[in-house]
Amino acid sequence: MPKAAELKKGQIVQINNQPYIVSQIDIKSPSSRSGTTLYKVRFNHVQTGQKLEQSLTGDDVLTPIDFQKRAIQFLYQDADGYTFMDNEDFTQFTLSPDALEDQIPYLYDGIQGLYGLVVEGNLIGVELPAVVEMPIAETPPAIKGSSASARTKTARFASGLEIQIPEYLETGEVVRINTETGKYMSRA
């Protein structure tokens, strides 16, 4: 039974006998001596995507839900949404763009290390790898004589993602991107 202080983004809990996934956590520490730390948590309903916000203290206990974490593969995107396949039993699942939100820019053909969160046979969420490697689709030309300084330029990727990269990198180079922060890490 996790306490509110132990909640992490992506964790699935039961509220009012319904499955919810933690999408955002804001921690508020009051300045008074006897004040308790409050956790303002935004949940999304697993099936409907409906948002629910609750303010919890660190000692509030939530009921966990049994789910499976399965290795999956991104297949394609169409009008219905994003389709994934379970790597073990080849079951296909489709998620709407709303269910994926911030993860869409990191989804590309051939991405490795994806995990699906499966509850009662339904895919309810996708867990991205910590780092993805993507080729730069478009960026201004490299500047001659530039070094690994702190100067940056904008790079666009085939998935629509835009990030700041060092100015010496060129179109076509493969870079490593942190999926938590959305920042450039290094060349691949």
Q: Tell me, what CATH number does 153's domain have? A: 2.40.50.140
Mean pLDDT of the region 90-106: 86
CATH of the domain at 20: 2.30.30.30
The whole-number average pLDDT for the span 23-34 is: 77
Q: Which domain holds residue 165?
A: 131-187
Same domain, 108 and 120: yes
**11: nearest Cα among 43, 38, 37, 39:** 43
* Per-residue pLDDT at 8 exceeds 60: yes
C-beta of residue 173 within 8 angstroms of C-beta of residue 165: no
Residue 42 sits in the same domain as residue 94? no
Q: How many CB atoms lie within 10 A of CB 33?
A: 5
145 band by pLDDT with thresholds 50, 70 and 90: low
Domain count, the chain: 3
Query: Do 43 and 80 have their domain in common?
Result: no
